[in-house]
Amino acid sequence: MKDFWNKRYEENSFAYGTLPNTFFKQQLDRLTPGQILLPAEGEGRNAIYAARQGWQVMAFDFSATGMKKAISLAEQHEVHIDYEVVDVLDFSSDKKFDVIGLSYAHFPADIRAQAHDRLLKFLKPKGTVIFEAFSKNQLGKPSGGPKNEDMLFSIKELQNEFSAVTFDFLEEKTIILEEGEYHQGEASVIQFVGRLS
């Protein structure tokens, strides 16, 4: 899996573009800047947007190639982000964050619940989770996402895996993606905003 992402990010273009995810941007713009954690951040499009809005950004991914492109993009925009190359279960920080942004962070099914539980430990009390990812109904659609149904989401799974979160809303919907080369077209996603109970 790591080789797959390093190879994808080695391409000259940005796999999912350089603009932030639309849902992430909409939700972040409603919040007062503070400290934000962005797991599985890839090439940095959301991290750079957050930094430009005044957020203190901590991002990580297991792709060193993704990190290099993210740091380069940050330099182009004259902003600073902290970025580590680390697996989600090995990530550690002495900080607590106001927001965790999960944008198409599809962790392997056998560690996913553990990964989500671990990430929530870095969220401040009443801190916010912004989440968008592909639902199980995305399987077979050409607009992106894992080809393994176990890595896609259902609302019930998210309710179980984020049981410590009080949801402002949690919904599955069909959207049109226009994010770089690999997120294009009609897609079935689940979006939620929630706060740590």
Whether residue 14 contacts residue 42, with contact meaning beta carbons closer than 8 Å, is answered with: no
pLDDT of the residue at 197: 84
For 11-23, the pLDDT digits (tens) are 667 767 689 999 9
pLDDT of the residue at 193: 98
Instruction: Report the mean per-residue pLDDT for the chain.
Output: 93
pLDDT of the residue at 116: 98
**Furthest C-alpha separation in the chain:** 42
Instruction: Spell 96-111 as b/e; 16+ CB within 10 A means b.
Output: ebbbbbbbbbbbeeee
Q: Could you tell me the fold of the domain covering 2-196?
A: Rossmann fold (3.40.50)
Instruction: State both tokens at 77.
Output: 């925009």
Closest CA to 102 of 36, 175, 43: 36
- The whole-model pTM stands at 0.94
pLDDT of the residue at 132: 98
Q: What residue has token string 């607590």?
A: 96
- The segments of the chain whose pLDDT lies below 50 read none
85 Cα distance to chain centroid: 15
Angle between helices 2-9 and 64-76 (to 10 degrees): 30
Instruction: State both tokens at 161.
Output: 């895996």
pLDDT of the residue at 9: 64
Reported as type and span, the H/E element at residue 120 is helix 109-120
